[in-house]
Chain A
């Protein structure tokens, strides 16, 4: 799809993918995402097909959430963990007639594929579909209007995480109501040979947004960003991604380690913070009353808040909103999520 991007698009390497970081200007793209709707080039997300007689059992074993009854009309976000309970990736799992389709997070396809193959069974086929399928997203408080103009208005009001196999311009696509930013969100899985046409058609209704604006908006609603939050020896509990793990499920790779981490009540916890004129680097120390209590996970300049916004991993007893802490000499305040209330929460689909 890169041929259809504007000439001055700024690209960056994210894991195994080269992705558009911004098409024009971060601030402008962010504002359109939060106030109207944007198109997202999600081709950095790898699609992996899980098929064969053992597909569902395999998926049930490798995904941390329960997908046993995931029909072809549903999708679900889940973590994929290793035996030690560390995050391999955060995926969107689509139920399919003959198994599942897993969508990796941006740039994580190679690692996810290698992990799946390393724990694969003989009766399961694991196929990288990134050569023939790709993903285009829509996100924003009025994204539903774009769906109506682009494909079919009825699709706009699908329930969250509902999936419909539909047709656009005589091309079969998989359409899903999803969302990363708290705004109305949709994804279209499209054959690669038709992707450029669908992208162009989408851009007749909305402007595109790059990875930077998307990740800023994700951070604002505490949607985990695996590539920025899972580095190092950190477990699910410390990340705060518990909701992407179903501990009531009988068995899955990493369950024992996750439960051990949970029951130990040890370790650090993640909390959002804002404040300061500069953006601290990951690993910058966090002080409470002059005492070192943790470190910055990552931080960015927030367009919506007009200040630095980030995540810190601190001792569990200090992982709470409303505290005045210090990062690199600057006063910061810990926050209650969401840090920005999505406009979509007060706008009905009509």
Chain B
């Protein structure tokens, strides 16, 4: 791939990550700017420090925003914003 093709591929993932960050900040009423959250940032425990109630809210929000049901998914899905992006945008997983 050329560097421009790689940039375009990166941009698609970054776009999905950005959409997820905006959704999380909005639905959970966080005080930070969405872009402050990094793609590698963990969501639970360390990192964003979300709890199990936040998970339930996120399940609903993800289904509404992306049409993807993550109920009963493994916690690994929430291992980072980028990992969640793989789940809500299957094209990213296929291209990885």
Across the interface, do A321 and B45 meet the contact criterion of CB distance under 8 Å?
no
Q: Given A248-B31, A317-B10, A321-B96, answer yes or no on A338-B80 (Cβ-Cβ < 8 Å).
A: yes
Across the interface, do A323 and B9 meet the contact criterion of CB distance under 8 Å?
yes
Could you say which residues of chain A place their CB within 8 Å of the CB of B79? 221, 337-338, 341, 345
CA gap between A324 and B9 in the complex, in Å = 10
Chain A, residues 87-101, CB within 8 Å of chain B (1/0): the string is 000000000000000
Selected interface stretch from A10-18, A40-48, A284-292: A284-292
Number of chain B interface residues as a range = 35 or more
Chain A, residues 254-292, CB within 8 Å of chain B (1/0): the string is 000000001000000011100000000000000011110
Chain B proximity of A307: nearest CB distance (Å): 16
Chain B proximity of A173: nearest CB distance (Å): 23
Across the interface, do B3 and A320 meet the contact criterion of CB distance under 8 Å?
no
CA gap between A270 and B32 in the complex, in Å = 21
Across the interface, do A289 and B14 meet the contact criterion of CB distance under 8 Å?
no
Chain B, residues 67-79, CB within 8 Å of chain A (1/0): the string is 0000000111001
* Complex partner residue of B45 from A160, A262, A293, A333, CB under 8 angstroms: A160
CA gap between A291 and B4 in the complex, in Å = 10
The answer to whether the Cβ of A127 comes within 8 Å of any Cβ in the partner chain is no
The answer to whether the Cβ of A300 comes within 8 Å of any Cβ in the partner chain is no
Selected interface stretch from A28-36, A54-62, A239-247: A239-247
Q: Given A222-B40, A338-B83, answer yes or no on A243-B75 (Cβ-Cβ < 8 Å).
A: no
Give the nearest-CB partner of B48 in chain A. Answer: A243
Could you say which residues of chain A place their CB within 8 Å of the CB of B17? 320
Give the nearest-CB partner of B36 in chain A. Answer: A242
Q: Given A248-B32, A288-B6, answer yes or no on A222-B13 (Cβ-Cβ < 8 Å).
A: no
The answer to whether the Cβ of A166 comes within 8 Å of any Cβ in the partner chain is no
Across the interface, do A337 and B3 meet the contact criterion of CB distance under 8 Å?
no
Chain A proximity of B5: nearest CB distance (Å): 7
* Complex partner residue of B74 from A223, A247, A289, A346, CB under 8 angstroms: A346
Q: Given A320-B9, A323-B6, A337-B40, answer yes or no on A345-B76 (Cβ-Cβ < 8 Å).
A: yes
Chain A proximity of B20: nearest CB distance (Å): 13
Number of chain A interface residues as a range = 35 or more
Across the interface, do A318 and B83 meet the contact criterion of CB distance under 8 Å?
no
The answer to whether the Cβ of A53 comes within 8 Å of any Cβ in the partner chain is no
Chain A, residues 191-235, CB within 8 Å of chain B (1/0): the string is 000000000000000000000000000000111000000000000
Chain B, residues 21-49, CB within 8 Å of chain A (1/0): the string is 00000000001100111111110011110
Chain A proximity of B85: nearest CB distance (Å): 8
Could you say which residues of chain A place their CB within 8 Å of the CB of B92? 321-322
CA gap between A289 and B35 in the complex, in Å = 27
- Scoring A271, A272, A319, A322 by chain B CB atoms within 10 A of each residue's CB, the highest score goes to A322
A residues with CB within 8 A of B: 77, 160, 179, 221-223, 240, 242-243, 247-248, 262, 270-272, 288-291, 293, 317-325, 333, 336-338, 341, 345-346
28 residue pairs bridging A and B, Cβ less than 8 Å apart: A179-B46, A222-B40, A223-B46, A240-B38, A240-B41, A243-B37, A243-B42, A243-B48, A271-B40, A288-B6, A289-B3, A289-B4, A293-B3, A318-B10, A319-B39, A320-B11, A320-B17, A321-B39, A322-B9, A322-B96, A323-B9, A323-B10, A324-B1, A336-B40, A336-B83, A336-B85, A345-B74, A345-B79
B residues with CB within 8 A of A: 1-7, 9-11, 13-14, 17, 31-32, 35-42, 45-48, 74-76, 79-80, 82-83, 85-86, 92, 95-96
